[in-house]
Amino acid sequence: MSSFDDVQNRFGAADQGSLRRTNLALVLGRLRDQGPRSRARLATELGITRSGVSSLVGELVERGLVRTGVVERGAVGRPGTSVRLDGRSVCGIGAEINVHHVATMAMDLSGNVVAEHRLTLDGNRHEASEVVDRLVELVSRTEDDVAAHGAAPVGLTVGVAGLVDSTRDMLTLGPNLEWREVPVGAMIRDRLQPDYPVVIDNEGNLAAIAETLPGDPGRRDILVIFGEVGLGGGIVADGRLLRGRQGYAGEFGHMIVDPQGRRCGCGRIGCWETVAGLRALLDAAADTDDAVRDPALGLQARLAELNRRADLGDTRTLAALDQVGGWIGVGAAMLTNALNPAAIVLSGYFAEVGHHMRGSIEARLEAGVLAPHAGGTVVELSTLGFTAAVRGGATLALESVFADPTRVERLVPVAQGESR
Amino acid sequence: MSSFDDVQNRFGAADQGSLRRTNLALVLGRLRDQGPRSRARLATELGITRSGVSSLVGELVERGLVRTGVVERGAVGRPGTSVRLDGRSVCGIGAEINVHHVATMAMDLSGNVVAEHRLTLDGNRHEASEVVDRLVELVSRTEDDVAAHGAAPVGLTVGVAGLVDSTRDMLTLGPNLEWREVPVGAMIRDRLQPDYPVVIDNEGNLAAIAETLPGDPGRRDILVIFGEVGLGGGIVADGRLLRGRQGYAGEFGHMIVDPQGRRCGCGRIGCWETVAGLRALLDAAADTDDAVRDPALGLQARLAELNRRADLGDTRTLAALDQVGGWIGVGAAMLTNALNPAAIVLSGYFAEVGHHMRGSIEARLEAGVLAPHAGGTVVELSTLGFTAAVRGGATLALESVFADPTRVERLVPVAQGESR
DNA sequence: ACATCTTTGTAAGATAACTTTGCAAAGTTT
DNA sequence: AAACTTTGCAAAGTTATCTTACAAAGATGT
C-alpha cells in the first residue's frame, strides 16, 4: 500500500482511466504486500466484486505482471487458483556512489535480487567522471543480467553520498566525496542512453525506502539512520519518504550535538557524525596503527574484527561502542521528539556492530524523549547492511510500476474496438 | 490541494462513487485555493470537460457548498458566470485548551471567521473537568453563532497543550497543564452531545495546519515552531501534517539542546523550551519584580511592553531577544538538516516579538545547516499570533468537507431514478 | 446595422469501468 | 448420489466521464 512517489492523482482530474489504474495498482499492491491468493480472496479483501477482480487480474496477466499459479483448496467448495506476482517481466535497478564503493542491484517485481555488483574504491578522492564511468560499467553488466532473466528495466535510481537537489537533478554537495555541483543524473544518461528513467537521490533516503517493508504497518513511520563515513538517513512518514523542499531532508549527520567537540569534514564543529560516525567509533576503539584502522582491509573485515573483540569482552572496544551508542541515542531522542516514529532503524555500519550499542542507545532515547516509553519508538537493527541503498534504489524504481501498472506495455495489444 | 487527512482512498477500491467524490473535491479545492472562477476556466485548469464541470458544480450547488456569482466578461466571447464557495452552509469549529486560556473559533467554508471566543485563565493548575466545562460553554456559544450565520458545524477539533495520543483519543501528558491521561475528547462529547465529530489534537500541530495556506506551494513543506509557556510545533510535509506513530510528533520543546543548562518542567535538563520558551525570554529580559513578569497583566500586554523596550533600544531587552533567538536558531538548524522545509514559521509568542529575533535566528540557522544557504529555508513570522491553534482546528474540521464534499447532504434530495 | 467570430454553458449520445445477476465448474459433505 | 459451498466468468445494468453538437451572449469587422 505504500507509495513513495504518488504517480496516482498527482494533479488533474480523475477519469475512468485513473479509476482503472487505481484498482490495478490496488490488486498488484495487495499481491506484493500479502503474497499470492485467489481472485475470490482478493475480491473480499479489497471490496471489489469477483468479476471485477477477474477483469483486473486478466489485464495484469496481459501486462506480464502477474501469473496464475497453483490450485489452492479451501475447507469446502471449489478450489481457487492463486494469483501471484510474475518476476520475469520487469526489474528495478538501484545504484550507489560512495567513498568506499560503487554498487548496483537489480530486483524483480517479486522482490528477488536478480543481480548485484560491487566495486571497492580506495577511499581517496576521484573525479566524478571517473567514478561515474565505473558505475556505468556496473550498470551495463546489471542490464545484461536483467535481460538474461527475461525482464526489462523500468528505472534506475542512483544513490549518492551527499546533498542531492531533486528539483535540479544535481548533486549539490558531497562533503566526503569532495564533489560539488555534479550533474550525476545527466552524466549517467549521457553514457548509458537508457530507455528508462534515471533519477538520483540521497543514499540515506534510499536506505530508508529499503527499510519500509511492504505491507508492514509497523514500518509506515520510521526513522532510518544510515552510518557510513558520514551519517545520513531518511524519514518515512505515513508510508511516504519525506524529501523536503529540495530533497535535502535526512541530513542528520550535520545536526550539531556537541558544540564543544571536534571539527567536522563540513567545517562545522560538533556535528553528529563527528561523534557517531564510523570514524568516531574507530578513533575511540583503536590507536592509529591498529589493524581495524587500515583502509586496505575493507570495511566489512574491519567491522568484523571489532565485533570479535567486543564479543571477547575487550573493554576498550566495548567502551567505544557504548560511547558512540550514547551519542546515537542523544540524536535519536531529539528526532523522536520531533517525529514520533514507530521505529528507529539503524542501517549501514550499525547493521554490523549495532547490537553492541543497543543498550546505550535505548537508555539515552528513553531519557531524552518527553513521551512515556519514548513514545513507543523502538530501536531496530537493519539486516540489509551496506546493500540498503542499492536495494532502496531498486525498490523505488519498481514503485513506479506498483503505482501505475499501465506503465508496462501489454504483451498482446488490445485489438481495435475490442473490450477488455 | 492540501489534505491533512486523506479521507479519499483511505483504503479499499475505487468505484464510480469515489471517482465522483474525487472530482467534486477537486473542483471545491480549486475554488478554495484559487478563488472564484467560471466553469469554463475550471474545466481548462483541471483538465475536465466543460460539461463535466457543469455537472460537478451543479451537485456542489445542490449541496450548498458553492454558488454562482457575478458575470465575468472576458476580452471576447460570451461572458462566464463565476462560481465561488458558499460560506453559509457549513462551519468548522476549532478550540484550544491552554494554561493561559480556553478559546474557540468558527470558520466557514470560504475561510471567514464566523465566531471567536476566548476566556483567560489565571495560569494556576485546575482540574480537567473544570476547564472542560468552561470550554464547552464557549463551544455552545460558538454553535449558536454558527447557527445564526445559517450554517451547520461539520466538526470540532480541540487543541490541547500536551501529548495527545491520536490512537486512544486521550491526552497522555500535559506537563504545563499538569494533567495526565485525560480523555478530553470523550469528556467534551459527553457534555456537548454533538451530531458532528469531535477530535483532539496537539495545539502545535493545529498551529501548523493554520500556517499551511491553501494553494500556496511555498507552504507545502513547513516547520512551525509554536511558542507559549512551552515550545511545540508541527511539521507539514508535502502538504500533509506529520503526526507520527501515535500523534506525538512536533514535541520540539523537549529536544535537549543545552545539557549543562536548566531543569525543565518535564524533569529533564536543557530542553529547548528552557532556553527558548516564553519563560526563558522573560527571565533574561527582566528581574522578578518587573511588570512584564506579572501574570495579572495578560500575555499580550506584557509582550507589547517588551516590544516597546526593544524598539526604544533597551540593551537588556535586545540582548535577551538576541540570546533566545540564537537558541531558536540552534534548534531550527537541527530540524532543518533533518527536514529541509521551505519555511520555518514562528508562531505563538514569536508572532509578537519575533521580528527582533530574526537576525540571530537566521545567523544560527545559516551556520548550522549543511546545505548551502540553509537549503533555501527561510524564516517567517506568523501573523496569526495566539489564534493559530483554534484557526488550525477549524481548518482541520473543514478539511473533511474539502476532502469529501458528499459528506454534506443535498438540500434537494435526488428523486428516485432521477439522473444527476 | 448586420453578419461573423469567440467563448460559455448545457444536453444527448458514446465510451468505459464498475456492480449485479446468473450459471457452469469443481470440490466437500451428508 | 444429491445437496451444499465456493470459484471464476459472462451478460446485462448502472454510473460517470468524454465526445459532439448547439444555443446563448457578447466582441469585432464590414
Query: What's the pLDDT band for B412 if we cut at 50, 70, 90?
Result: low
pLDDT at B12 over 80: no
CATH of domain B217-386: 3.30.420.40
Q: What is the mean pLDDT of chain B?
A: 92
pLDDT at A11 over 60: no
Q: What is the mean pLDDT of residues B307-322?
A: 96
- Whether residue A369 and residue B14 make contact (CB cut-off 8 A), yes or no, is no
When scoring A370, A377, A380 by the number of chain B Cβ atoms within 10 A, the one with the most, hence best to mutate, is A370
Q: Which pLDDT score, from 0 to 100, does residue A269 have? A: 95
Nearest residue to D27 (CA, C1')?
A: B76
Query: What's the pLDDT band for B8 if we cut at 50, 70, 90?
Result: very low
Query: What's the pLDDT band for B7 if we cut at 50, 70, 90?
Result: very low
- Whether residue A340 and residue B251 make contact (CB cut-off 8 A), yes or no, is yes
Minimum-distance CB partner of A14 among B19, B246, B266: B19
Please classify residue B363 by burial: count the beta carbons closer than 10 Å to its beta carbon, then call 0-12 exposed, 13-18 middle and 19+ buried.
Answer: middle
pLDDT at A4 over 60: no
| Cα–Cα distance list, B6 to A215, B25, B169, B315 (Å) | 18, 12, 19, 50
At residue A363, the 3 state secondary structure works out as: helix
Rounded percentage of chain B residues whose pLDDT exceeds 90: 82
Q: Which pLDDT score, from 0 to 100, does residue B92 have? A: 98
Q: Which pLDDT score, from 0 to 100, does residue B244 have? A: 96
Please report where in the chains the cell 506513530 appears, as a residue: B245
Alpha-carbon span B121 to B99, nearest angstrom: 7
Alpha-carbon span A370 to B246, nearest angstrom: 13
CATH entry, B16-86, from 1.10.1240.10, 3.40.190.10, 3.30.450.40, 1.10.10.10: 1.10.10.10
Taking a C-beta distance cutoff of 8 angstroms, is the pair B325, B360 a contact?
yes
* pLDDT 10s digits, A269-322: 999 999 999 999 999 999 988 988 887 888 889 999 999 999 999 999 999 999
**Single-letter residue type at B83:** V
Domain range annotation of chain A: 17-86, 90-208+388-403, 218-385
When scoring A1, A19, A245 by the number of chain B Cβ atoms within 10 A, the one with the most, hence best to mutate, is A245
Which of B102, B30, B8, B108 has the alpha carbon at shortest distance from B394? B108
The reply to whether B217-386 shares the fold of B16-86 is: no
Q: Which pLDDT score, from 0 to 100, does residue B11 have? A: 52
* pLDDT 10s digits, A230-258: 899 999 999 999 999 999 999 999 999 99
Greatest C-alpha distance within chain A: 76
Rounded percentage of chain B residues whose pLDDT exceeds 70: 95
- Whether residue A47 and residue B367 make contact (CB cut-off 8 A), yes or no, is no
Taking a C-beta distance cutoff of 8 angstroms, is the pair B1, B29 a contact?
yes
Torsion on CA atoms A150, A156, A159, A160, rounded to nearest 10: 120
pLDDT at A163 over 80: yes
Question: Which residues does chain B have within 8 Å of residue A344's beta carbon, measured at their own beta carbons?
Answer: none
CA of B264 to C1' of D27 (A): 71
Selected residues 144-173 of chain A with any CB under 8 Å from a CB in chain B: 163, 172-173
Non-local CB neighbours of A288 within 8 Å, separated by 6+ positions = none
Q: What is the mean pLDDT of residues B367-378?
A: 96
Alpha-carbon span A72 to B342, nearest angstrom: 52
Q: Is B330 on the interface with A (CB under 8 A)?
A: yes
When scoring B9, B337, B379 by the number of chain A Cβ atoms within 10 A, the one with the most, hence best to mutate, is B337
Name the residues in B34-93 having a C-beta closer than 7 Å to nucleic acid strand C: 38-41, 50-51, 54, 57-58, 74, 76-81
Q: Which pLDDT score, from 0 to 100, does residue B71 have? A: 86
Query: What's the pLDDT band for B2 if we cut at 50, 70, 90?
Result: very low
Q: Which pLDDT score, from 0 to 100, does residue B417 have? A: 42
Q: Does domain A17-86 have CATH number 3.40.50.300?
A: no
Strand D footprint nucleotides (protein C-beta < 7 Å): 4-11, 14-21, 23-28
Alpha-carbon span B85 to B411, nearest angstrom: 16
Query: What is the crossing angle of helices A278-285 and A315-339, to 10°?
Result: 150
Q: Which pLDDT score, from 0 to 100, does residue B420 have? A: 42
Minimum-distance CB partner of A339 among B13, B249, B342: B249
Query: Which chain B residue has the Cα nearest residue A45?
Result: B12
- Whether residue A15 and residue B19 make contact (CB cut-off 8 A), yes or no, is yes
* pLDDT 10s digits, A104-162: 999 999 999 999 999 999 888 999 999 999 999 999 999 999 999 999 999 999 999 99
* pLDDT 10s digits, A167-210: 999 999 998 899 999 999 999 999 999 999 999 999 999 999 99
For B305, the grid coordinates are 511592553
Higher pLDDT, B122 or A138: A138
Q: CA geometry: angle at A231 spanning A226 and A234, to 5°?
A: 50
Alpha-carbon span A378 to A290, nearest angstrom: 34
CATH of domain B90-208+388-403: 3.30.420.40
Minimum-distance CB partner of B47 among A13, A242, A376: A13
Dihedral sign, CA of A148, A151, A157, A161? negative
* pLDDT 10s digits, B243-288: 999 999 999 999 999 999 999 988 999 999 999 999 999 999 999 8
Q: Which pLDDT score, from 0 to 100, does residue A316 have? A: 96
- The CATH class of the A218-385 domain is alpha beta
At residue A184, the 3 state secondary structure works out as: helix
Question: Which residues does chain A have within 8 Å of residue B245's beta carbon, measured at their own beta carbons?
Answer: 221, 340-342, 375-377
| Cα–Cα distance list, B41 to B29, B32, B44, B152, B208 (Å) | 14, 14, 5, 30, 32
Nucleotide nearest the Cα atom of B72 (by C1') = C8
Query: What's the pLDDT band for A412 if we cut at 50, 70, 90?
Result: low
